[in-house]
Structure 1
Amino acid sequence: MFVGNENIISVAEALIALVVFLLVLSITRSFRKKIPPGLKRLPGPVAYPLIGNIVQMGKNPHLSFNRMRGKYGDVMQVHIGMRPVLVLSGLETIKQALVKQGEEFMARPDLYTFNMIADGQSLTFGRDTEAVWRVRKKLAQNALKTFSSAPSLTSASSCIVEEHVSEEASYLVTKLLQVMEEKGRFCPYRYVVISVANVICAVTFGKRYSHDDKELLDIIHLMDEAEKATGLGNLADFIPVLQYLPNPLMKRFKALVMNFNAFLQKNINRHYESFNKDHIRDITDSLIAQSQDMKFLAKNSIQLPEQKIVNLVNDLVGASFDTVTAALSWCIMYLVSFPEIQKKIQKELDQTIGKERTPRLSDRALLPYAEAFILEVFRHSSYVPFTIPHCTTKDTSLNGFYIPKDLCVFVNQWQVNHDE
């Protein structure tokens, strides 16, 4: 009897194994879409079940992708968890995808963490339709244009933005000289990020903080922690089951997003309480005014909830912190590394502007060497290894390879700058 039961169990186990194998094979085949004639299937490394190519990617995916590029080329597919991801490398390939075929690669993937940012109303991370996205982009541009061209009424600056930047730059230089005198050395990043945050808050909320202000330091800490928590992406975006399991990293990210949203909402609410359409003080006021401008909304034939408009503040603040701080940090690093270039820039400033005043935007044409240096820093440096993930809007092709709709796309920005 015991032997008979053992045989029955063995047969049952074999049948279960066979059913599971056939089921997995069937699912795998269903995912392998038929390739249109004349196109090739995407190349890439073989993926492990459930985890995909996470092991091959390691701690520095941009370096791993660069090595894989030597084998698979500028267009390849990897799996992060269970999700297929298109990885683009090479300047010409990236230009072809994002510029020449921009409308086919312009969407954002439906990622779990993206939906948390700005309560899902983010222009940068959201999944608006093309028509809604274009109107929201135009609203943001209108608000920025107001303060990049509006003349300053209280100083010799050519516009309000320049006034804020000049004021903060003067304070930053004074602060760095003070720290250098007291300590003999310093890390510029800490002071640069505070000054950048101050300019952004001044332009967006009409408020400048002291460098020791707790609210400002808290928001800088939030932005820094959010960047560390996300990195290339959260695994919960690519392995859905992790969304429902205890995950300290995800818990921390949720708390950071919640606190950042609360900070922005508090400032927006203050603006609503004191809003005067005849006295636009900053970008937030401008966005509120546009959200209430029925003529603008009617002209664009799009009915946008007021929340979708005002939440553009999240994108303007969030996007500026890292990019501007990184740009200035790279500039400082290159100037320290190449003192002869620093001397040439200083000489050009002394001969053209003098020491009686600070440079202005109107001096730009008179400072070709300084501008060339800044542009070269932009070209040569990498702020992040990858751009924000893109997503295809329809079935398409690239370099002869078939690219299906809704495929998540990573652009290997680090590789482009490294090759150059």
Structure 2
Amino acid sequence: MPLPVIGNLLQLSKNPHLSLTKMSETYGDVLQIHIGTKPVLVLSGLETIRQALLKQGDVFSGRPDLFTFRLVGDGQSMTFGSDSGEVWRAHRRLAQNALKTFATSSSTSASASLLEEHIDKECSYLLKKFQQLIEKGEFDPYRYVVVSVANIICAMCFGKRYDHDDQEFLKLVNLTDEFGAAAASGNPADFIPILQYFPNRSMKNFIDINKRFLSFIQNIVQEHYRTYDKNFIRDITDSLIQHSQEKKANDNSGVQLSAQKIVSIVNDLVGAGFDTITTALSWSLMYLIAHPEIQEKIQSELDRVIGRERKPRLSDRAQLPYTEAFTLEMFRHSSYLPFTIPHW
């Protein structure tokens, strides 16, 4: 039974995912609690989540209108915004098309896309860096992986690779880390509305992080508008500007893509890629270090199918069943986040 005002907050520990897991053992895979004044439905278990997010994805695709969500991307975020109607779908399709166009566009390398070319360059740098660090002794790969991942995402969105010591670039990486830490901790003001009007250091910090991140993206998008050439699409931002100027947002809805919405889409794409991809690579490294026999089998398959004259490409995927199996098992077995972003 929830208490007045605070609901079931006292029953959630510092690790709420563990508290909720224990509750699900008693109450089942579908249970309701109150966080502050808001009722929250908690879904656990593979089949329950599959039923909600896949089989009934359209029903559960919305986001709750939380106070902190309105602060992300100046309230225009596709990821955190509460709008999930036709306009949102049109913008989502545009973002997907821009990603697909960039990922499949031919590069100067034979049989490779622009995306693969950026990944190839960044991997070469990262491997050299690891080799230098190994010679000095033990090191934490995470801080180097996250910068390389950020560089690939920036290359996709901005057409630019940054030096790993570039201060502007490192500020962006740090802002993303700060956003993740602030968002993961949650905010009571989302569930007890009156707290929105009280001084709150963590809320002030969250607002500041979002403003600085958005300002960084706005400056880059403005620069893209100034240097845009319809005959030379450099990156995802250019692709979105092209769609905007050709008014191809959606034939049925008549939705046009404003400069503000382009900033918001790029903001979402940059923010979404950092943590998840870095986490995936970190889990992969950990599993391979813990299981050297798997590492040897993967290397053997790569040597046999591809050799050492070139790096693997996405087109090689079908010929690398063991490497593919390892990747999928890593996704299944590891844990990226204790919760999804709340659904509505």
The TM-score, its normalising length taken from structure 2, stands at: 0.97
Pairing partner for 1:227 from 166, 180, 200: 180
Is residue 157–residue 237 contact of structure 2 (8 Å, CA) maintained in 1? yes
1:300 to partner: Cα distance = 2.8
Query: Any idea what SS the aligned residue of 2:7 has?
Result: coil
Pairing partner for 1:271 from 218, 224, 242: 224
Pairing partner for 1:156 from 110, 119, 134: 110
Q: What does residue range 69-108 of structure 1 map to in structure 2 within 5 Å?
A: 69-108=24-63
1:233 to partner: Cα distance = 2.3
Is residue 144–residue 283 contact of structure 1 (8 Å, CA) maintained in 2? yes
CA distance in 2, matches of 1:238, 1:354: 56
1:102-148 per-residue CA deviation (whole Å, 9 max, x = no partner) reads 22211100011111111111111112242112111110111011111
CA distance in 1, matches of 2:337, 2:65: 21
CA distance in 1, matches of 2:254, 2:9: 42
- The answer to whether residue 85 in structure 2 is matched with residue 130 in structure 1 is yes
Letter in 2 for 1:111: L
1:303 to partner: Cα distance = 2.7
Letter in 2 for 1:377: M
Query: Any idea what SS the aligned residue of 1:355 has?
Result: coil
1:266-306 per-residue CA deviation (whole Å, 9 max, x = no partner) reads 11111011011111110000011111222x24613233350
In structure 2, the partner of 1:58 is 13
- Structure 1 stretches of at least 4 aligned residues deviating more than 4 Å after TM superposition: none
CA distance in 2, matches of 1:148, 1:193: 20
Pairing partner for 2:122 from 156, 168, 189: 168
Distance 1:134 1:100, change over 3 A: same
Identity of aligned residues (%): 60
In structure 1, the partner of 2:72 is 117
Query: Any idea what SS the aligned residue of 1:78 has?
Result: strand
Letter in 2 for 1:227: G
- The answer to whether residue 344 in structure 2 is matched with residue 381 in structure 1 is no
Q: What does residue range 384-403 of structure 1 map to in structure 2 within 5 Å?
A: 384-391=337-344
1:157 to partner: Cα distance = 5.0
Q: What does residue range 34-45 of structure 1 map to in structure 2 within 5 Å?
A: none
In structure 1, the partner of 2:137 is 184
Query: Any idea what SS the aligned residue of 1:162 has?
Result: helix
CA distance in 2, matches of 1:297, 1:325: 31
In structure 2, the partner of 1:300 is 252
Is residue 283–residue 334 contact of structure 2 (8 Å, CA) maintained in 1? yes
In structure 1, the partner of 2:160 is 207
CA distance in 2, matches of 1:374, 1:213: 32
The TM-score, its normalising length taken from structure 1, stands at: 0.80
Is residue 268–residue 284 contact of structure 1 (8 Å, CA) maintained in 2? yes
> Highest relative contact order (Cα 8 Å, sep 6+), 1 or 2?
1
Q: RMSD value over aligned CA atoms?
A: 1.2
- The answer to whether residue 99 in structure 2 is matched with residue 144 in structure 1 is yes
CA distance in 2, matches of 1:164, 1:238: 42
Give unmatched runs, 5+ long, in structure 2.
Answer: none
Computing the radius of gyration over CA atoms, which structure comes out larger, 1 or 2? 1
1:326-364 per-residue CA deviation (whole Å, 9 max, x = no partner) reads 111110111011111011111111122111211111211
Is residue 147–residue 160 contact of structure 1 (8 Å, CA) maintained in 2? yes
In structure 2, the partner of 1:33 is none
CA distance in 1, matches of 2:269, 2:184: 20
Give unmatched runs, 5+ long, in structure 1.
Answer: 1-45, 392-420
Distance 1:213 1:302, change over 3 A: same
Is residue 105–residue 114 contact of structure 2 (8 Å, CA) maintained in 1? yes
